[in-house]
A and B are shown apart, each in its own frame.
Chain A
Amino acid sequence: MTTLKIQLQFGGGAELLFDKIKKREVELPSLKKYFPESQKEKWTIKELLVWMKDNLLMERPELFVQGDSVRPGILVLINDADWELYGELSYEVQENDVIMFISTLHGG
C-alpha cells in the first residue's frame, strides 16, 4: 500500500497551533496502516484531522478540533475551494491536494 503526498497550509493564525509553519508537505501512510480498524480504503478529511492532531498539533488541540471536525471559525479549503463544496469531512484526499486551514480574522 502506498503513501499519499499532500500539502498542508495554514493561515489567519491557525499556523500558531502548528509550530508557526504556514506550508508543509506531508506524506500520509496508508490508511490501513494508521487506522487498522478503519473500514475505509482511502483517507478522508476526517482521518486527516486525527492524523494532524496526533502528529503535527503542538498545543491547545481545542483551538483546532472540536468533536471530530475543526472548531468554529476555521475554514477548510481544498485546492482553493471551500470544503463544504466537497462534502467536508467525507472528502477523499487525493495525491497532491493542497488543504488549507484558515482561521478567520476579526481585527480592523
Chain B
Amino acid sequence: MDFISKLEKEIEELRQNLASKEQELLSIKHKMGTAEIHMDNQNGSSLEQTKALKVQFGETLPKWAIERYSRQILLPEIGVCGQEKLMQGRVLIVGAGGLGCPAAVYLAGAGVGEIGIIDYDTVDLTNIHRQFLHTEGDQNISKAESAANSLRSINSRIKVTPYNVQLDSKNALDIASKYDIILDCSDNVPTRYLLSDVSVLTKIPLISGSALKMEGQLTVYGYRADKNPSEKDTTYRGPCYRCVFPSPPPAESVGSCSANGVAGSVPGAIGALQSLEAIKYLVGQTKETLLVERLLLFDGEDMTFRTVKLRGRNLKCPICSDTPTITRLVDYEMFCNSSAQEKDLDLKILGPENRISATELADKLSEIDLEQRHLLVDVRSEPEFKMCSIDGAVNYPLDQMYRNFDDLLGEIRRCTSHVTFICRRGNDSQIAAKRVLEEIEENHRSKIKDLFGGLHAWSKNVDCNFPIY
C-alpha cells in the first residue's frame, strides 16, 4: 500500500508540474502568436515590393488561421468571411456537463474567439463517462476550471473564461452581456427559465439542448432578426421558452441523469448539434436554416431524428411580448418550486417507529434464523437492483408497485419477522412503506421499517464494498 500511495503522490506532482509547464507554453505561444501575425504582414508587404506579388489572406485571416481552420473554411457556408466572424464570436456555455463538454469542444476547435463556461459544481467520478473535458485527475476540482483547461489545450489561440459560480438572478445579466450567444447546457428547470429570461432581456439568442436516458431535444429560443443583416424581415422574433412553456412542470415529473440515467452519447450528440447551431448563427445564417420555431427530437432507442414545428412568439408572453409584465429577473427556484442545484432530498414521511438504521438492520440480519426470515423489499428500478443489492432482497420497483401490490402485501403478511423497505437514499423507500402501511391490517404494521439513509447509509456504515452511485 505504501508503494501505491507513493506512486499516487508522484503522479500528482507530475500532473502539477505538467500543468504549470503547459501554462508556461501557452503564455509563450500567445506572445509568439501576435509576433507571427506581424511577420506574416511584413512578409506580404516585402514580397509585394520586391516581386510585385501579393499573397491574399482574405480580409484579415493570418496564415496560421487559414491553415488551422482550412477544413471548415472550405465550406461555402463558412468560408473566409464566416471564419472571421467565428474568431470574433463570443459564446457563453452554461453547464460544463454532458451537453457543455461536446458543445465547447467543437466551438474551441472551430476557433470561436471567446468561450465562457459556467458551472458551480466540482468533477465527480460519475461525470466522466460522458463529460469528457474532465479526466480522472480532475476529480473534486471546479468543472468550469477543468473544462477551461482542456479547452485551452485544444486551442491556445482562443480566450476561455471559466465561471465557477451558480448562475442566478444576481449575476446572470452581467455575465451574459459579454457574449453574442448563449448555450443552455444546464440540467434543471429553474436555470432553463432563468436563461430564457436572460436571453429576452439581453436580446441574446439561446440555443437550448437537453438530454435524458436515450432521448434528446434541441431548439433555438429568443432569436431576433434585427441582429442579422441577411434577414429579409428584420422585425421577426422567434419564441422564447416561456412562449412555448408558460408554466413550469410539477417538480416530481422532472427526471435527472443521476436518478434516471443517461447514455453518454445522447447528450454528446445534442451538445455537438448545439455547437453547430451556434456556429451557423455566428456566421450569419437566417431563421430559415436555424432551429427557430422548430424543435429537434432525437430518440437513440430507435435512432430517429425528427423536427417538429413549434408555435411562434406569443404576442401576450409575459416577458418577450411588446407589453411585458416581467421586466427583470425573478426568483426561478421559487417559480419552479425546485432547486437549481442537485440536492439530495431528505424526506421525513415516516415516524421514528417505522425507521431503522443501517447498523441496526445489519445486527438483525446477522441473527441467523431461517424460520424468522427478514424480508428486504428493495423499491429501486430493476436495472439498479441488478447493479447491486443486499443479499436476499426482493425487488418491487416503486413506479410499478401497484401492479403487483397484492403479491407484496401477501408476502408481508406471511413474514413473521421484520420487513424493511430499501432504496438508494431512503426517500422512495418511505413512500413505498407508507403505501403499504395505509393498506395493510394494523397487526402487521409494527414489523414494517424503512432503511434510514438507504443503501448510501448501508455502504457508509455497514458494508464499504457496496457501491455508492
Contacts and interface: CB of A to CB of B under 8 A. Distances in A.
A72 interface: yes
Nearest to B293: A82
Nearest to A105: B210
Interface in A1-42: 11-13, 16, 22
Contacts of A75: 244-245, 295
B253 A103 contact: yes
Interface string A49-86: 00000000001001100000001111101001110110
Interface residues of B, number: 48
Interface stretch (B142-150, B167-175, B181-189): B181-189
Nearest to B183: A108
A102 B249 CA distance: 12
Contacts of B213: 13
A72 B337 CA distance: 13
Most B C-beta atoms less than 10 A away, residue of A59, A73, A75, A108: A108
B215 A71 contact: no
Interface in A82-108: 82, 84-85, 100, 102-108
A81 B309 contact: yes
B210 A102 contact: no
B396 to A, nearest CB: 14
Given A11-B299, A16-B399, A72-B246, A106 B192 contact: yes
Given A71-B249, A72-B250, A73-B253, A105 B311 contact: no
B53 interface: no
A24 to B, nearest CB: 15
Given A80-B306, A82-B310, A104 B249 contact: yes
B212 interface: yes
A77 B307 CA distance: 11
A104 B253 CA distance: 10
A66 to B, nearest CB: 8
Given A63-B253, A73-B247, A108-B100, 9 more contacts: A12-B215, A22-B299, A72-B245, A72-B250, A73-B245, A73-B249, A82-B244, A84-B311, A104-B217
15 contacts: A13-B215, A16-B399, A71-B253, A73-B249, A75-B295, A80-B306, A80-B308, A106-B189, A107-B210, A107-B212, A107-B257, A107-B262, A108-B95, A108-B99, A108-B100
List 6 tightest A-B contacts by C-beta distance, closest first: A73-B249, A72-B247, A107-B212, A105-B210, A84-B311, A81-B309
